Amino acid sequence: MSKRYFGTDGIRGTVGQAPITPDFMLKLGWACGRVFTERSSEAGRCSVIIGKDTRVSGYMFESALEAGLVAAGVDVKLLGPMPTPAVALMTRSHNADAGIVISASHNPFEDNGIKFFSADGSKLPDDVELAIETMLDAPLETVPPRAIGKAVRVVDAAGRYIEFCKSTVPEGFSLRGLRVALDCAHGATYAIAPAVFAELGAEVESMGAAPDGFNINQGVGSTDMASLCALVRAKGADVGIAFDGDGDRVLFADEQGAVVDGDELLYIIAMHRTAQGTADAGVVGTLMSNLGLELALREAGLDFARTPVGDRYVRERMVAEGWHLGGESSGHIICSDVTTTGDGIVAALQVLQALRAAGKPLSELAAGMNRLPQRLVNVRREGNGALEGNGTVAAAVAAAEAELGDAGRVLLRPSGTEPVVRVMVEGRDAEQVEALCERLAEEVARGLA
């Protein structure tokens, strides 16, 4: 059974356009409340945590979800602006039945979306998402007045999450003497991340920490690293750290102002764990992970497994393999021995532990992985243009693969969060990769027209 609303990471779209509308969010809150209540193993009233990023539309959707949930007889705890992983943490620590995040992650402020966590702080399984979609078709019926839920604001959420982040490093670990440039993307980490790194002793220079409801991810954050790289060079920082709008992704800039992506960060963490004798047998990545990461890990004696794009699939494979490290090149890194979901701040602290232990600059740690040339182009997908069974697209892919031979790979993937097809070409020759990707993207656009 296919899903109508849920994509690879919840429900997402443009504000004011279905389904990202107040009336839908009201019904969604009610449907979630009904499903969570029916599936709760605990006696008594069901409870749900709600957090959000800094988008102006978050106020509207927070109120709509709250109304729907309490109409279904669910108690609601409101966190206000909080990173996505903080919502997962608070869902567990408050023994809530579920957590909801109002965020469109790295998208511009005009978009918004809804993400969900189960009681254990992991993403919702498919059967629960399908049950919610089924419940959306039922008429909204408010519970009897005595059974209506209540809503309260949690006033100590930020402080509790800051302390949790600091608890993920060994006792006595210090960043004293380290100059850190932070880019909070004018998003959910704007008040929390500077506090975490400063309280651990770092000298912190912040940017992207003045949200106004409209500037989230605008020229800042992990999707636009130029300003952070310039800040690192201007301030002579040892590292730059960039989060996305909801704080579940992180990328670094090294001391020279060069970007260090999620694949390289995974490699650095894995090598640190190997040196410490705490590494598992392998690491999980995705179809988009650079081939250089796989080769470097295998050279170090570690296995590497690929999954479809999406942190939920990475997490599922990590559980299946019994491994504790996985992630995506976009910077969504999961350290499941530390927390249950991708967490930008926690992942950054894992990298900084490796940096401190090695006593080397970040550029030198990242250089251990030979990142192969990779080019990604997003092709706008208008209307109902399909990839599957498209002869024009299939012929273009076959031609590109033939030209690459055994020296590279081609990947076409419809995005689960945007109306685009991601065209990726990877190989050993940068000029060939660039030319092939541009040509293939043109063919895909023509085939989908």
Could you list the active site residues?
105
CA distances from 318 to 68, 101, 179, 271 (A): 35, 23, 34, 18
Strands, sheet with 325-327, edge to edge from the N-terminal-most edge strand: 303-307, 282-286, 325-327, 333-335
Q: What's phi and psi for 288, nearest 5 deg?
A: -90, -10
Question: Cα separation of 121 and 315, whole Å?
Answer: 12
Cα Rg for the chain, rounded, in angstroms? 22
Show the tokens assigned to 254. Answer: 């090294």
Question: Cα separation of 60 and 102, whole Å?
Answer: 10
Question: Cα separation of 68 and 71, whole Å?
Answer: 5
